[in-house]
Chains A and B, each alone.
Chain A
């Protein structure tokens, strides 16, 4: 290991990580197909390939533990692949356990620690599965059939093969030479004649014809008759018939595999590697080369590039100003030329920006896969059957957001399983299907990505929730009585609230949703909750697509020039002081028949008021996130600009209402409003009873 460069090691670790994720996805698909009652050999083959590649990698990089686990796993998967072991939930449990073990091993490799990881239990379980192989042998595996052949069988052909084997038929291989001119007729005749003895299941070209106008086919045939009878009936100069022998039964000792013999079709199967991989030159050592199309980049490097783009955008504006100046001073020709360059520069810069943004985008599937694993694990732990339905896994979002999403989503899923989905018995009683459904939907909506987590459980118990809040002293009874349904639902985001009485392993410790909400707002997102008693709960997360660069509306409030991300602005309208009404002590206006709460930015922020503000026309910028809208009263609109948001330093981290700062050109810095935070602050502050406000603040 010592001679390996850090870079190579990093490459190795992240590739291993990717393969493990692929493996995990395979297992999830297997789990799903198993539940649906379908057996799909290609899934097992894929899992086998992933582990095989990992074993090769581990060997190359001297990662002993990784190699040892992969090796044992490969054996089990090989048994599964060849049908020596039946795939069941118990086997899958052990395989999922292997993913946890892989994760631990990788973590140890990353920190280069040699700590004992205690994989013995897992190894013993893998061993146990292998030992069970003799008992549960599947009939197809009894024959020395080539995996390559099994892989190309259609579903019907495979079904016929199994059916014939179940009927105790013998299997034969007929190698037949056909004249290309007459093959159609002759093949039909063969099939017809074969019917008397059994059934031709499939035929494959061998690619080994003796002359150019001949073709050689291998026919797989099942028959109750013996070899001699068949040769007598079907044999000729052009037909060679062989019986496909049964495999010797495995000995009881799981440690020794039967020696591999040349298969009936005359080709040597090599080292358990599926033939299609072999053909593609996919040797273990080739796996490093296989990914040379991909470059892994530290996201900070992309941030750096994005900063440069941001500074170039400032240069671009300066170009524009110089061009204007030239025109003003009468250098029309030069000005036009510079204007053209400016436009060109502008376009290219835009392309570059889009390019960098695109690199940062990753599909949400990355985090969804992890969640699917969690769902499986928890549902087994708590003994509830859960069907997870994922849509929109291909929806793309900024890499940084994906990283931060994992924990909040996991919390929400845990809550859905533990609090939402009823126990199986109860579900049946109320006429729901035994298996609870959790839907995880993602889709893009304008500049936002929406993620919905929906369960068909019991819904949020509003009475229980308010009672708990009253018990905890966050709410008085009279306050509770005045609350609207939505306000009650919002109680789940208060610290310390959980409607389940017992604290258990999964959730119910009451530390979930407030943290979830905080984490989501840090990403510039909001959560909306909908819940119907007895029908289910749906949480909708609205997130910006990227954090790196955003289109923003530049506004003036007091003496401040502020930026507000366009993604959270729905429109801007002229402000009419006379239209303002007071509702529940809050200023509102009516916009197209709907009440819009107002927030005077200068007052909220304690901004210095510009002297001419009383006479000037002002504007209302309507900030909208999810279901919530807030009208920000501002003094002036400058227009739209692409900005790079830089986070405020640590000593300003406690300042609410701002997402960061950005350069405005001329060396000036403008603050960027945190629309989600403002909406939260203003609406929660006015909406909820005072005690609630305190809890939020």
Chain B
């Protein structure tokens, strides 16, 4: 797991480069913590449509829903990140993205905040303190203006 984290971090470091270009992350909250995913990976933010549970599905997949005729696989980030499950609130949203396989993926989150711009200096490799369980999904830690933002690697989250 540690290796995965390190390679994710070094991947990130390489991509950002020395000059430290600024990247945009969409910030959202989940079980009281703040998380971010790279904005370019998110196509749309949706109020959750009715979701159909899929029996026998992998644990992190809640089910499927339809967005204007497109069949979307909905992933519960709480389950992926081993967080306590709660019923949806009215602030809950689905972040719509497209996996590398072409599959439409919806990430279920508690609440969407805003977009943050992070320079390379504001991102540090994931702390091992996060625990081995979820470090495989973490790209790094963002620290904009004193906040603590867990940056998720979307492809790993989809791979679940």
Chain A interfacial positions (CB closer than 8 Å to B): 307, 310-311, 560, 605-607, 646-652, 654-658, 661, 663, 666-671
Contact = CB atoms under 8 A, between A and B. Distances in A.
A610 to B, nearest CB: 14
B103 A649 contact: yes
B104 A656 contact: no
A651 B54 contact: no
A310 B66 CA distance: 13
A655 B103 contact: no
A375 to B, nearest CB: 38
Given A671-B52, A671-B54, A652 B69 contact: no
A307 B69 CA distance: 8
Contacts of B53: 560
A571 B49 CA distance: 34
B52 A651 contact: no
B158 to A, nearest CB: 6
A318 to B, nearest CB: 15
17 contacts: A310-B69, A560-B55, A607-B55, A648-B64, A649-B64, A649-B71, A649-B72, A649-B103, A649-B104, A651-B61, A651-B105, A652-B61, A652-B73, A668-B52, A669-B71, A670-B52, A671-B52
Nearest to A308: B69
B56 A651 contact: no
Pairs A-B, 3 closest by C-beta atoms: A649-B103, A605-B55, A649-B73
B103 A651 contact: yes
Nearest to B52: A669
Contacts of A607: 55
A668 B61 CA distance: 17
A668 B56 contact: no
A651 B55 contact: no
Contacts of A671: 52, 54, 64
B27 interface: no
B73 A606 contact: no
B65 to A, nearest CB: 6
Nearest to A655: B56
Contacts of B64: 648-649, 652, 661, 669, 671
A697 to B, nearest CB: 12
Nearest to A663: B66
A633 to B, nearest CB: 15
A595 B75 CA distance: 42
B48 to A, nearest CB: 11
A651 B71 contact: no
A651 B160 contact: yes
A663 B102 CA distance: 20
A538 to B, nearest CB: 35
A560 B54 CA distance: 9
Contacts of B32: none
A655 B52 contact: no
Interface in B81-110: 99, 101-105
Contact of A651 (B50, B69, B158): B158
Contacts of B57: 652, 655
A668 B50 contact: yes
Nearest to B51: A669
Given A661-B64, A663-B69, A650 B52 contact: no
Interface string B135-146: 000000000000
A646 B73 CA distance: 12
Interface centre among A651, A658, A666, A668 (most CB of B within 10 A): A651
Contacts of B17: none
Contacts of B55: 560, 605-607, 655, 657
* Residue of B73, B105, B158 contacting most chain A CB atoms (<10 Å): B73
A656 B69 CA distance: 23
B56 A606 contact: yes
Given A605-B55, A649-B64, 11 more contacts: A560-B53, A648-B54, A649-B104, A652-B54, A654-B58, A661-B71, A663-B69, A667-B66, A669-B50, A669-B65, A671-B54
A190 to B, nearest CB: 78
Contact of B101 (A307, A650, A656, A657): A650
A560 B105 CA distance: 22
B1 to A, nearest CB: 21
A651 B66 contact: no
Nearest to A307: B69
Contacts of A605: 55-56
A308 to B, nearest CB: 8
Contacts of A669: 50, 52, 64-66, 71
A632 to B, nearest CB: 14
Contacts of A647: 71
B160 to A, nearest CB: 7
A607 B49 CA distance: 21
A606 B57 CA distance: 11
A646 B71 contact: yes
B56 A661 contact: no
Contacts of B49: 667
B154 to A, nearest CB: 13
A193 to B, nearest CB: 83
- With most chain A CB atoms within 10 A of its CB, the pick from B71, B105, B159 is B71
A249 to B, nearest CB: 66
Contact of A661 (B50, B52, B159): B52
Contacts of A606: 55-56
Contacts of B56: 605-606, 655-657
B63 to A, nearest CB: 8
A300 to B, nearest CB: 13
Contact of A655 (B54, B66, B159, B160): B54
Contacts of B102: 650
A657 to B, nearest CB: 7
Nearest to A647: B71
A656 B104 CA distance: 20
B158 A648 contact: no
B62 to A, nearest CB: 11
A606 B59 CA distance: 14
Nearest to B160: A651
A651 B65 contact: no
A670 B49 CA distance: 13
A654 B102 CA distance: 16
Contact of B99 (A648, A650, A657): A650
Nearest to B56: A655
Which residue, of B61, B75, B160, has the highest number of chain A Cβ atoms within 10 A?
B61
